Amino acid sequence: MASEWCIGIIGGSGLYNIEGLEDEQWIAIETPWGDPSDEILCGRIGDVKVRFLPRHGRGHPISPTELNSRANIDALKRAGCTDILAISAVGSLREEIEPGRFAIIEQFIDMTKRRESTFFTSGFVTHVSMADPVCERLSDLAAKAISAAKGKVAVGATYLAMEGPQFSTRAESRLYRQWGADVIGMTAMPEAKLAREAELPYALIGMSTDYDCWREGEAVDVAQVIEQMQVNGALARDMVVKLIESLPKKRKPSPIDTALDDAVITAPDEHDPAVMAKLDAVAGRLFG
């Protein structure tokens, strides 16, 4: 397994670029799953390779429902990423996760309905574990980097992934609180599932912009979200640099690097060559 870090950054609402990159260039990457959201900004910070993808594309032209998450994850894998740090604007479902606070996500509740959520179809059926859906190592580093950037952080949050693009009703927002969700967003699923299928350790930072609509008399509006995103985005860029600078010199293997070892259920003589051809980046190490 790779001993050098290559960090993929997926920038959400409010984070459309990375500052401090050396040797930077935008590179178009083709995938069997269609076009990713944008070209990938490749560069380095010190000795660490960085690959940045704006999740909604530069200028935010792509809606949450229409994101091609399979192409995004595949493209980052092809770009050489060893790990993925995802950043996303979220609504808060907890008083203590006030607008401006960052939340380190630990668990997910997936309520999306219209999205392709797996690389593995008939002909190469695979079931990866999502019991612990994020990388503990990368999440811990992210929490420390937020504090180093003078940001406020909450750890161990549960993220409710809704379909969107509309915001929640009050009944939904209050129900999600009862379920134990701490923040709500529209983009982390199936992104986190696909990262696990691609054997990429994944951590998610939720940047709180609002209190959704569970509090009496309050509702979300885009102007409020954008204003808070601008503040959050500046802190997020500083945090990314501090995280990368804090990485150990050598990358030790992660159990997620081999998540597919015990996940494939289709018998070898039933493997579909056409399906396997599309999986060259995601699961190619299994075919060597």
Q: Are 90 and 183 in contact (CB under 8 A)?
A: yes
Burial readout 156-193 (b: 16 or more C-beta within 10 A, e: otherwise): ebbbbbbebeebbeeebbeebbeeebbbbbbbbbbbbb
* Rounded mean pLDDT, 81-110: 97
User: Which residue is catalytic, options 74, 110, 212, 257?
Assistant: 212
Terminal C-alpha separation, the chain:
14
- Cα angle, residue 122 at apex, residues 120 and 128 outer, rounded to 5°: 35
Segment 159-201, tens digit of pLDDT: 999 999 999 999 999 999 999 999 999 999 999 999 999 999 9
Confirm whether 212 is a catalytic residue. Answer: yes
Structure token pair of residue 212: 């959704």
The matching CATH number, chosen from 3.40.50.920, 3.40.50.1580, 3.10.310.40, 1.20.1560.10, for 6-287 is: 3.40.50.1580
The Cα–Cα gap between 278 and 211 comes to 41
pLDDT number for residue 183:
98
Is residue 288 very low, low, confident or very high in pLDDT (cuts 50, 70, 90)?
confident
**Contacts of 241 by beta carbon, 8 Å cutoff, 6+ apart:** 19, 20, 45
- In the predicted structure, residue 287 carries a pLDDT above the cut 70: yes
Q: Quickly tell me which residue has 């950037």 as its tokens.
A: 149
Structure token pair of residue 213: 């609509």
User: Which residue is catalytic, options 182, 210, 238, 257?
Assistant: 210
The Cα–Cα gap between 283 and 288 comes to 10
pLDDT number for residue 90:
95
Sequence ranges of the domains in the chain: 6-287
Q: How far lies 62's CA from each of 38, 58, 69, in Å?
A: 10, 9, 12
CA quadruple 36, 41, 43, 49: dihedral sign: negative
